Amino acid sequence: MRKKMYLLAGGPSDGDSTAVRLREALGGCGVEHPAAAYIGTASGDSRTFMRWFERPLKKAGAASLTMAPLVGRKADPEKAKRVLISSDVIFVSGGEVEDGMNGLSADIRALLRRLLEDGRLFIGLSAGTIMLGKAWPHWDDEDGRPEDAELFDCLGFAGEIFDTHAEAEGWPELKKAVSLSPEGFIGYGIPSGEMSVIDEDGVLIPNDRLVKCVNSGGRAVIY
């Protein structure tokens, strides 16, 4: 019953491409004007941040965008569950990946997994895309040595590790995450304005616009 999952990079210089990608993603919902639930844990459930996405989502065809309040002063886990359950689409927004994952309790993660398997459409953008993937690197000290990083689990709705709109920096966090993964593991960079699609069986649909990063002997090699 799973639907395709849409993983967007977004980015500050992508022009209208994000709106085009959102329209394509919402088209996979099967509802003409779907109600979208908003997961904003990566930005502390910022209402201002949510409003940045409300207009393009509605322009793309969404009937509404409703916060699932999970963190901060207005956190209400029971209300968040109701919002998620009643939605047609779940939009996981950007910000800081680790903050985003820390804001999702075990029961919310389990609910999201159940909704995925029951056929709810998921869209990730920026940090939200990374959160829907397998894992991400953590440093105890942000200024620490690269070799001191370790992986933490993300939602794992896609089996790959993804990074987004980091082409100008050369994908350093993607490389670190892949280098900490098993031999032969493949991660992907999604450039600004591009999108990756996971099919109904949880398999990445090939896309030659993605940056491929492979663990080769403990080193991350970009193709």
Residue 83 binned pLDDT confidence (cut-offs 50, 70, 90):
very high
Rounded distance between C-alpha atoms, residue 53 and residue 19, angstroms: 10
Half-sphere exposure of 218 (CA within 13 A, CB side): 1
The reported pLDDT for the residue numbered 147 is 66
Q: Against a cut of 0.75, is the pTM above it?
A: yes
Q: What confidence tens digit (pLDDT) does each residue in 188-211 have?
A: 999 999 999 999 999 999 999 999
What mean pLDDT is predicted for residues 44-70? 95
The reported pLDDT for the residue numbered 9 is 95
Residue 13 binned pLDDT confidence (cut-offs 50, 70, 90):
low
What mean pLDDT is predicted for residues 157-184? 96
pLDDT more than 70, % of the chain: 94
The reported pLDDT for the residue numbered 194 is 94
Q: Does position 15 have pLDDT exceeding 60, yes or no? A: no
Supply the CATH number for residue 89's domain: 3.40.50.880
The amino acid that residue 163 corresponds to is D
Q: What confidence tens digit (pLDDT) does each residue in 110-154 have?
A: 999 999 999 999 999 999 999 999 999 998 766 555 567 899 999
- Closest among 191, 192, 189, 170 to 12, alpha carbons compared: 192
Write down the mean pLDDT value for the chain: 94
- The number of folded domains in the chain is 1
pLDDT more than 90, % of the chain: 88
The reported pLDDT for the residue numbered 1 is 87
Domain that holds residue 107: 5-222
The reported pLDDT for the residue numbered 95 is 96
Rounded distance between C-alpha atoms, residue 136 and residue 138, angstroms: 7
Rounded distance between C-alpha atoms, residue 62 and residue 54, angstroms: 9
The reported pLDDT for the residue numbered 170 is 96
Q: Which residue has the higher pLDDT, 220 or 13?
A: 220
